[in-house]
Structure formats: C-alpha cells, structure tokens
Structure 1
Amino acid sequence: MIQAVMTSPGKIEFREIPVPEIGDNEVLIKIMRIGICGSDIHVYHGTHPYTGYPVVQGHEVSGQIVKLGSNVTGLKVGDAVTVQPQVYCGRCYPCTHGRYNICEELKVMGFQTTGMASEYFAVDSKKVLRLPDGISYDEGAMVEPLAVAVHALRRSSDINGKKVLVLGAGPIGNLVAQSAKGMGAEKVMITDLSDYRLGIAEKCGIDFCVNPDKKDLREALIENFGPDRADLILECVGVNSTIEQAINCARKGTDIIVVGVFGQKVNVDMGLVQDRELRLIGTLMYMEEDYIKAIEMIQQKKVSLKPLITNHFPFKEYLKAYEYIEKQRDHAMKVMIDVHE
C-alpha cells in the first residue's frame, strides 16, 4: 500500500509499505477521505510546537472496514466508520477520572504518532465509530472537527434557549455556530473579517453574520440579541484581538470558551475578568460522547457540512492540496484528500 510521509515542512514522499497486520482487538480500515485542518497546516509550515518529522498525517478521516480482529464485536466488514485519533495512557489522573481527552501523556495520530494518511490503517476497534447509512464519506471525515465543536459547547452549561456569540467563521467557528443551533441555542451570531466566510456561515443557516470591521460588535449584539447581549461567547480564532473582543463585549458573569489555538502569548485584561466575574474556559479535543452527538446531528440534518467543503484532491496530490490552501487563504475552508474513490 501507499503511505504519505511529510519528511520535512512542505515536503511529502509517497512510500510503498506492507498492508498492516491487525491484532485480535483491531480492525483494518480502507481509508476513503482525509480532511486537512488548521493544525495540519501548522505542521506543513513547520510551526506546530509538538510535531517532529518525518510524520504521517491524517486525523480527520472516514473509511470502510475490510478486516476484523478475532475479538472485535459490534462492527462488521463493510461498515463505514470514522476514528477517534487520541492515544492516551489510561493511568494518569485525567484518564482515571473520565477525561482521557486531556491525558497527561496524550498523543494524537498525525502529530505525535502515526496518522492515517495511508491506503489502509490498522487501529484498536475501541477508537472506531460506525457511520449510519446515509452519511457520506465526506461527512464522515468531518465528524472529528464537529466533535471539537460539540465538546467546546459542552464545557459550559446547557445552551438550550441561549444566545451564543462565535468569534471566527473558519471551519471550526462555523461548526461551533452550527452545533450551537443544533443543540438548541435560541440565536447564534458569528463574526469574521472575511465576507466570504460569513457568506458560507449564512448558507449554513447561522442567524446573524457580522464583520466587525464594518459593524461595531457591541452594537450588533444589542441589535440582534437585545440589551443583555450574549449568554455564551466562543473564541475560535486564537489571536489577541478576538479574545480581547470577547472580554470587552461580555456582560458580567459570562462564560467565554477558548476554542482557538493560540500561536503566541496574548495580553488579557484580567482586571475585567476579575471585576466582571467572567470565566475563561479552555477546551481540548473531544470524547466518545462528543463523536456520538456529532454523528447524531449529521444524521438528523441539524448541521450542513457540504457548503464547508471547498475542494477535493487525489491522494497523490496531497501537496497540491496544501498549495491550494496557501493560495486561497480565506477562501479555503475544508479541503478533502480522496484516498480511495
């Protein structure tokens, strides 16, 4: 089989290796789709702080089971599936208290351990979730980023009936906003400096799409949510200006969920955080129940994923996909690698 290996920033080699043998508790998956995310792009640029080279990427995937280990139950050959890419120790405090997503020794496939950018991939069956009939391989590869959004929203209290502000309309921000609606939020507003991304959000049914360069954010909040503004704010960009916006426009007692990955240290006005009793809440990845909820929302058509998929590239054109993302910048949302048709 062929495996894509990023040997150094911006360089990918395709190597012929044997199809992996599976253990008694594993399944062999024929990989169909791989989604490229923002963290993958950091690896492409050599700026990911926790990834070395060579590395096999691929953590947003869908595929089909072609072989089962002797101990595997609940799955069968031919099932369409997706995979949870975390590798955790099971021994540390978070793991033994039901929070393996923040394991002290956490590794993620495609970053600190081998990812799924191969024609076939062997993995522990416990990490595999079946995709119900009617969910496409494209949608299956987007379960992972959708689970990021679901987990982020669950870091606060129940959002049913709440007014939610999402800062950043990239793929994750868009999925956070859609998930908020799908999980019962009364109204959702999303912001971005890119009118193109705001247009995608509008196509996905987000209630209010605001460019803060053209409309004062506080005024927009009052206009669309009323004088009490947002009940919950989610920062999905990872830069100083947006976390500053979140703190400045929050009403007293608001939760601010920090979803964006910050590449640099930021200056936060902790005086406002203290005085207003704001809560800054971090979120990292997901757990199995978040995957299950994400799959449920796709099945029930509570989220619209097709408008986010910008382009497809064949497996052998993996590098061209990155070059496309570089050229398109704000116009590239979710780019898919088609490993098999």
Structure 2
Amino acid sequence: MKAVLLRQPKDIDIVDVPRPEQQGKVMIQVRAMGICGSDIAAYKGISPLVTYPRILGHEVAGEVVSVPEQSTGVAVGDRVIVEPYRYCGSCYPCQIGRTNCCEHLHVIGVHEDGGMREYYAHDAHLIHRVPDALAWDRIPMIEPLSIAIHGIHRLNVQAGEHVAITGAGQIGLLAAQVALYLKAIPILIDPLRERLELARKFGITHVIDPMTEDAALKIQTITDGRLVEAFLEASGSAVAVRSSIDLTHYAGRVAFLGWPKDEVSLPTFLFTKKELDVRGSRNSVGEFPLAIELLTTGAVKVDALISKVIAFDGIPEYVRLITEQPANYIKVIAVFPS
C-alpha cells in the first residue's frame, strides 16, 4: 500500500509499504487526513519529539473495514476519526485521568508511524464514530478542534468572560469559536491582518494587531478598564508568551498551548502579585465527543480554515509548499479518491 514516508528532514516521498497486521486492533481504510504543523516541524527537522524514518499523519479519518473479536464501540462500515494519543494507563497522569500528558505518551506520526497511508490499524478505545453528514475532507478537523476545546477547558472559561487568544492559526481560530460557543468574549491577537479579517467572518468582533496597536490599551477599552480574565497562548511566540502575563487581570488564568522554540523567561513575581493560575495545555483528553458535536451542528465552522483539499499523492509537494509559504496555508486536507 501507499504511505507518506519522511526518511529524514527534507526527504519526503510516497512509498510502498506492507499493509499493517490487525493484531487485535481496528483496521481502517483511510479516507482523509490533515497536514499539521507538527508534520511540517518534522519535515524541517526542528521537532524534538520525532525520530526518523517516520510515516507521518495524526489527523486521520477513515472507514472501518475489520474489527477484532469481542470488540465493541465500532463496527465494519463505520466512519471514524482516530484519537492519536496512545497512553500507558499506569503512570500518575493516567491514573488521574489526564492521559493526554502520559509520561510515556506516543502520538502517532510523531513517536510512532502514523496514518498517512491507505490502511491503518488503531486501538478500538481510541476511535470515535462520526455522523454520515460530515464530509471526509472536514472530519480530520475534529482532532485540532479537540485541542482548541481542551485549551479553553483548561482555562475553565465561563460565559461573559473575556478570553485573549494569541495566534490566529487553526487552533487559535477554533479556540475563539469555542469561546463564542460558551458565550464568552474572545479577543484574538495576531500580526497577520488577513487572519484577523478571517476571524471576523466567524463572528469574532474583537481583534488586535500587536504590531500596530497597543494591545493592553485596546483590551482595557474592550473590558471597560480591566484586563482579560483568561488568556490562551496558542502561537508559541516568545513575545506572546511573555505578554500573556501582562495582559491577564489579577486573579486571572493563563494557559500555554503553543510550543516556543526556545526557553522563555517569565516574571514569576507577577504570578504571585496577581495570584495567577498558570497552566499548560497539551493535546486533549475526553474532548473528541464535543468536537464531533460542534463540527456536526455547525457551532464551530471550519470551511474557511481549509486552504486546500488535495489528493493523497500531493502530500509531499504540499508539505514543501507549506514549509516555504506558511502564511498562505491554514489547513491542507488530503483525501483518497472515492
């Protein structure tokens, strides 16, 4: 069968590999997959988590073609999305239900071979059925949506609260829509004007270009003199990480979702002075059902986030294009012909 293999940084191709053995897992005929920022980082050779060679892909949707005996939850013919985070089940985070930060976490397409191939075998408890109403080229968006939901949930966002979000990429734009769903007030911060204009199409009325506007002053105007109660850092920018502490109000909450390239110094005295709750947000746990619901009902819209839908064979070319022109692409989805 065909698979997308990253042999080493900058060396990606479609290759023939053996079809996977079932070995007690659910066999899926892959129909669609997203190209994620982590795939691009692996291609560039800047991800500290990836080993080579690696079959990429963790945003994977397909049709169940066989299930192991005594398996429950899915059946042959089901349309499914893969939850790509394999956990050990025995470490401390797993014992308290936070399997997303398992000490021995394996993310497919990162720590182990992923789903950019014709067939993929995955654990039954990490597969979720999706309604027939969702088109194949929209289903892979469930995985990044789950990450955005988890970030908002880590902040315990409540109706009426102001939530600043730095980074108007796919996660930031999805998180802002989730905040709207919860009847909170998102404020999206990004230096790319095109992304801010796109945000307005989703009903996000408060946007800030930090290169041309005083973010603190504008936020105080929006909040009637206060800063934000919650802040989601989704860009990985060192400047944005640092500014999150300044732009969050006393007794507020901050969640770091983006991955900075280097260590960032933070004024911990402000954590104490403001009594901030500062948290990390990694992957997601328990968020797939809500992500499926929000996408199916249209409470969160993704069409405008999908820059291009391509054929599976075009993945290597578009990995290169996204690497060279990142501002031109929010999300590229690849599909197998029906």
- Give the TM-score taking structure 2 as reference length: 0.96
User: What residue in structure 2 maps to residue 2 of structure 1?
Assistant: 2
| Aligned-CA RMSD value | 1.5
User: What residue in structure 2 maps to residue 257 of structure 1?
Assistant: 255
Provide Cα deviations, 1:150-182, integer angstroms capped at 9, x if missing partner. 111111224222211111101111111111112
| Structure-2 separation of matches of 1:304 and 1:195 | 20
Provide Cα deviations, 1:245-302, integer angstroms capped at 9, x if missing partner. 2111221111011011111011212222221112221011111x21111111112211
Shift of 1:223: 2.2
4+ residue segments displaced more than 6 Å: none
| Structure-2 separation of matches of 1:292 and 1:3 | 28
Provide Cα deviations, 1:84-142, integer angstroms capped at 9, x if missing partner. 11111111111112111111111110011110011011111111000123122222101
| Structure-2 separation of matches of 1:52 and 1:17 | 18
1:11 and 1:319 in contact (8 A); partners too: no
Whether 1:19 aligns to 2:12 is no
| Structure-2 separation of matches of 1:13 and 1:333 | 22
User: What residue in structure 2 maps to residue 216 of structure 1?
Assistant: 214
| Structure-2 separation of matches of 1:138 and 1:9 | 27
Provide Cα deviations, 1:222-251, integer angstroms capped at 9, x if missing partner. 222222231111111112210122111221
2:307 and 2:331 in contact (8 A); partners too: yes
User: What residue in structure 1 maps to residue 143 of structure 2?
Assistant: 144
SS at match of 1:41: helix
What letter is aligned with 2:288?
Y
Provide Cα deviations, 1:2-37, integer angstroms capped at 9, x if missing partner. 11110011112323233223234x221111111112
Superposition map of 1:155-170 within 5 A: 155-170=154-169
Q: Which runs of 5+ in 2 are unaligned?
A: none
Q: Which runs of 5+ in 1 are unaligned?
A: none
Provide Cα deviations, 1:33-87, integer angstroms capped at 9, x if missing partner. 1111211111010010011110011001211112222222232222111011111
Whether 1:297 aligns to 2:294 is yes
Sequence identity (%) = 32
User: What residue in structure 2 maps to residue 240 of structure 1?
Assistant: 238
Measured at CA, do residues 144 and 282 of structure 1 come closer, stay the same or move farther in structure 2, by a change above 3 Å? same
SS at match of 1:321: helix
- Give the TM-score taking structure 1 as reference length: 0.95
Whether 1:67 aligns to 2:66 is yes
| Larger displacement relative to structure 2 (29-38 or 154-163) | 154-163
| Structure-2 separation of matches of 1:158 and 1:224 | 17
User: What residue in structure 2 maps to residue 326 of structure 1?
Assistant: 323
What letter is aligned with 1:308?
L
Whether 1:306 aligns to 2:303 is yes
| Structure-2 separation of matches of 1:151 and 1:311 | 26
| Structure-2 separation of matches of 1:191 and 1:138 | 28
SS at match of 1:112: coil
SS at match of 2:249: coil
| Structure-2 separation of matches of 1:129 and 1:59 | 14
Superposition map of 1:102-121 within 5 A: 102-121=101-120
| Structure-2 separation of matches of 1:340 and 1:99 | 37
